[in-house]
Amino acid sequence: MGDRRITDHPILDFDEGEVIHFTFDGKPMEGREGDTIASALHANGVKVLGYHFKTKRPRGFYCAIGNCSACLMIVNGKSNVRTCTAPLLPGMVVETQSDRGVPDDV
């Protein structure tokens, strides 16, 4: 499979940002400073961010810039987080979301 992170690029320099630890559905994973939640997951080979609440079809992001909302996940217990634009922070607990989402305090 090889590493998904680009290290040698003809135009861009990608700094090796600080490693950020987080979990995805309980599994420990590593991202980098500067990642969004979705980019860190993608770097770990995770494309399925949830299952549609009605059709149960696997769901991944589409636009990656906050337009399409196909990337909603549960982050630190909060539903409907747009993971394609939300920055990855240390210790985040990221979970696949397969319902419409529930209010925080339920």
Footprint on this chain of another protein (rule: CB under 8 A): 1-2, 4-6, 8-12, 14, 34-36, 39, 42-43, 47-49, 52-55, 57-70, 72, 80, 84-85, 87, 103
**Measured from the CB atom, is 19 or 68 closer to another protein?**
68
**Measured from the CB atom, is 6 or 91 closer to another protein?**
6
Task: Give the nearest distance from C-beta 44 to another protein in angstroms.
Answer: 10
**Measured from the CB atom, is 43 or 93 closer to another protein?**
43
> CA quadruple 1, 6, 23, 56: dihedral positive or negative?
negative
Interstrand relation of 72-75 and 93-95 (parallel, antiparallel or unpaired)? antiparallel
**Measured from the CB atom, is 26 or 105 closer to another protein?**
105
Task: Give the nearest distance from C-beta 62 to another protein in angstroms.
Answer: 6
Task: Give the nearest distance from C-beta 93 to another protein in angstroms.
Answer: 19
Q: What angle do CA 54, 71, 68 make, to 5 degrees?
A: 90
Q: Which two tokens stand for residue 69?
A: 């909302």
Region of 39 please: left (phi>0), alpha (psi -120 to 50) or beta.
alpha
